[in-house]
Copies of this chain bind each other. A is one copy, B any other.
Amino acid sequence: MASVNPPRGMRDFLPAEKSRRERVLAVIRERYRVHGFDEIETPVMEEHGRLHAGIGGDNEKLAYNVLKRGLDADAIRAAADDPAALTDLGLRYDLTVPLARFYATNRGQLPTVFRSIQVAPVWRAERPQKGRYRQFVQCDIDIMGDASSRAESELITATLDTLDALRLDGATVRINDRRVLDWMLDSFGFTAAERPGVLITIDKLDKIGPAGVAAELRDRGASASAADAFEAFLVRPMTLEYNPYGERQIRKLLPQGAPDEVVAHLVGIGEAVAAARGAQETPLVFDPFLVRGMGYYTGTIFELAHPSVDYSLGGGGRYDGMIGGFLGQEIPAVGFSIGFERIVDLVPALDDVAPEAVVLVHDRDVPDAELLAHKAAVTARGVRVRLEHRTKNLKALLERAAADGYTTFATVSAGAPAGSLEFKPLA
């Protein structure tokens, strides 16, 4: 215990940063609520088996596991070859697995179409690096019980509206559908068994380009004819007409014969989001090579982009199978998650006018009873007030108070009658 730091990769939040984070979260919650979503909360721990059932993908490996209580020496020795026996609970690594469990637990008390908000921390034992933390906040909205594309439209509209409210307008949503990817890979001749590996490679298209993707597919031992067909498609000459998001554009970006049902689902989302957003430019971009890592997606997938940064600010998709795994009954579900840690630093200051807040600078000899009465006269008005001993350098004291968000000060001497304080603005 020589160092006094928080655990590696985890952070303390001092007042200014805490207050900024809470203001941003309050806007997010408020906009989601306006869009008809309801906040819920689950415990930070779930049963170990549930967190390690294979649906969490790579995140399962990053989970913090909680030591089972009451293990004796024999039980510990016996666990040497089965470390999972040491643990019965774990900290959640995302909000989706707990939500699926929550829905299965509480379904009888929830409306048929349930729109949830979760704003809460998750934990992953990532290698610490810039911008990656082992405890971080996610903001998820999900709709359960609606298989139609309206669910996606509501999620995307609520998310974009929330970004607007955070003064991050101009955001766009890249969208694709896992069924499009599956069909496309089929049509090139990849087998179903090859699909997961091929998707991992396609996910690198932005970084390594068409030739790189084709080379990696061949290295992986994918069918040569399929890799050839795919490369030819990627490098095909193409004229993009003006039709930023719609059926013609979607079909133009895909091989011929894309399934009508999936295209209609994507078109429906575009039309509804455009209607909700009014005359503004359409915020959707169809990207037939958007993959998203999680194995549980079954339909649409999307990612949130903003012109100010080159990384995604969030994403989501449809995971119609997951809740069924807990409940034994299929429930359609789709969610959109904002990466809070990624956006909080982009959000400009949200308060145009700092609310009144008072510093009472008092001499050392003012009796507590007088001081507390002066303070109570301010708190009674609902105005924030801090007591400060007068120091030699009054200017430095007042500057520090102004930096902490205080707007007004008064000096207090012993014997000053109630109501006699003179309040002055802080520079």
Partner-binding segment picked from A103-111, A200-208, A305-313: A103-111
**Chain B residues near A154 (CB-CB < 8 A):** 372, 375, 387
Known interface pairs A4-B101, A368-B150, A368-B153; A36-B387 also in contact (CB < 8 Å): yes
- A81-120 toward B: CB 8 Å interface, digit per residue (1/0)? 1010011010100000000011011100111010100000
Known interface pairs A13-B40, A38-B15, A66-B65; A45-B384 also in contact (CB < 8 Å): no
Q: How distant is A415 from chain B, measured CB to nearest CB, in Å?
A: 13
Within 8 Å by CB of A43, from B11, B18, B275, lies: B11
**Chain B residues near A326 (CB-CB < 8 A):** 1, 4
| Complex CA–CA separation, A64 to B89 (angstroms) | 10
Shortest Cβ distance from A360 into B: residue: B36
Q: How distant is A55 from chain B, measured CB to nearest CB, in Å?
A: 12
| Complex CA–CA separation, A149 to B372 (angstroms) | 12
Q: Does A399 contact B (CB under 8 A)?
A: no
Which A residues, 16 to 57, have Cβ-Cβ distances below 8 Å to chain B? 18-19, 21-22, 33-36, 38-47, 49-50, 53
Shortest Cβ distance from A65 into B: residue: B67
* Cβ-closest 6 pairs across A and B: A15-B38, A10-B43, A36-B386, A275-B369, A276-B372, A272-B368
Q: How distant is A6 from chain B, measured CB to nearest CB, in Å?
A: 5
**Chain B residues near A273 (CB-CB < 8 A):** 372
Partner-binding segment picked from A72-80, A188-196, A222-230, A240-248: A72-80
Q: Does A416 contact B (CB under 8 A)?
A: no
A64-B89, A271-B368, A272-B368 known; 12 new pairs, CB 8 Å cut-off, are A4-B104, A4-B327, A6-B43, A6-B105, A14-B40, A15-B38, A33-B384, A35-B385, A44-B121, A150-B372, A153-B368, A273-B372
Q: How distant is A211 from chain B, measured CB to nearest CB, in Å?
A: 38
Known interface pairs A35-B385, A80-B73, A400-B111; A40-B67 also in contact (CB < 8 Å): no
Q: Please report A residues at the B interface, Cβ cutoff 8 Å.
A: 1, 4-7, 10-15, 18-19, 21-22, 33-36, 38-47, 49-50, 53, 64-67, 69, 71, 73-74, 76-77, 79-81, 83, 86-87, 89, 91, 101-102, 104-106, 109-111, 113, 115, 121, 123, 125, 134-135, 148-150, 153-154, 157, 161, 268, 271-278, 326-327, 367-373, 375-376, 379, 382-389, 400, 404
